[in-house]
Amino acid sequence: MTLAVRACLDRVGFTLDVDIELPLEGVTSLFGRSGCGKTTLLRIIAGLEKVRGAEVLFGRQIWQQGRHFVPLHRRRIGLVFQEHSLLPHLSVHGNLLYGYKRTPKDLRRLHLREATDMLGIGDLLDRPIDQLSGGQRQRVSLGRALLTSPQLLLLDEPLAALDTQTKREIMPFLSRMASEAGVPIVLVTHAPDEVERLADRVVFMRDGRVDRSEPLRQALARPDSPLFADEGAASVLEGALGPANERGLRPFGSEGSRLWLLSGGTAPDGQTTRVRILARDVSLALDDPCRISIQNHLKVRVERVDKPRGGRCVVATRTADGQLLLSEVTPWAVDQLALQPGTAVYALIKSVALMS
């Protein structure tokens, strides 16, 4: 099952020319700078932008082709917008049920109680909309979209309007939704950390065109990945989270590539999560230093040493369980440690950001 979109649009100061086919599973992220056409592409998929000649095929359903056009309310799509979009004349309860009531009974896969539990909004049901915080509003929007039991979920920069604190509060719900809801998700964003946290696949967009579409793993393995434009190279490790020890640290990942995380988050034990590690937070050592404040030492093997850029080299390594971990060191250090593919080193990780 795939989602195929073909569209050409030529407006003053803006052109869009895309022809892509996306697998209908997991989270696909449309990534690019503002104005690159990612939101327009999302609106074409939703049927909110009726572009002449465009083609949108969802699996075997034809959503748009020639004169045939299925309006949004018949596409069974869940939409979450950037800014708050709750219906102001309804309470939280009314908003959540607006779509639920309009979903045929035999198609409902999720019910109010499950949605409010998943998103932690059970206490807010009777509140009027204007008494919610930004984060609560976005969670209600998510719940409202999920309660229509959509066959596709479109998220248009759902975190962009939130402050860092609130983002951190919502992110776990988003990734939980991505893994639990069982609905393919298309996420529009310009934030690399959101892609790294949530996406399985990335569509890079620029100037109204699709540059490339590839799995996240592949995107993170490219030294020149646009995902690294802001904060430099980063890696994403996947692993299960264990129960906190007496110091409040939670183990992450399997034996041999275990990390201890300070901020355990609310993710339940045993749940597979992702951590994001910036390459500049990873140092390399030939021996395992024991008298050092850094707690997380991983035994890794160098896979690739990239050419220096801006006085820094990215060294790609593999952890014991085969995951890619990037480290950023100076060319001097590369020479000094004689780093080359195959070298066994210890990666010292200064800080780990838990993502879910």
Q: Would you tell me which residues interact with another protein (CB under 8 A)?
A: 46, 48, 71-73, 76-79, 81, 83, 85, 87-89, 98-99, 102-103, 144-145, 148
Cβ-based nearer residue to another protein, 77 or 170: 77
Length of the chain: 356
Q: How far is the CB of 169 from another protein (least distance, A)?
A: 23
**Which CB sits closer to another protein, 46 or 185?**
46
Least CB distance from residue 175 to another protein, whole Å? 22
- Provide the 3-class DSSP secondary structure of residue 325: strand
Measure Cα distances from 326 to 65, 226, 235, 237, 273 in Å.
44, 15, 6, 11, 19
CB nearer another protein, residue 143 or residue 192:
143
Provide the 3-class DSSP secondary structure of residue 231. Answer: coil
Rounded Cα–Cα distance for residues 252 and 265 (Å): 12
Per-residue tokens: 145? 């979209």
Supply the minimum distance, in Å, between the C-beta of residue 21 and another protein.
23
Report how far apart, in Å, the C-alpha atoms of 176 and of each of 11, 29, 73, 181, 267 are.
38, 16, 26, 8, 9
Nearer to another protein, 77 or 345 (CB): 77
Residue closer to another protein, measured from CB, 90 or 244: 90
Closest approach, Cβ 90 to another protein, in A, equals 9
Give me the amino acid identity at 263. Answer: S
**Least separation, in Å, of the C-beta of 135 and another protein?**
19
Tokens, residue 198: 């949530």
Instruction: Pick the closer one to another protein by CB: 77 or 171.
Output: 77
Q: How many helices (H) and strands (E) does the chain have?
A: 8, 21
Shortest distance (Å) from residue 76 CB to another protein:
7
Q: How far is the CB of 284 from another protein (least distance, A)?
A: 49
- Backbone CA torsion sign across 89, 93, 94, 100: positive
Taking the C-alpha atoms of residue 149 and residue 152, their distance in angstroms, rounded to an integer, is 9
**Residue 353 in tokens:** 């950001």
Q: Which is nearer to another protein, 135 or 150 (CB)?
A: 150
Cα Rg of the chain (Å, integer): 22
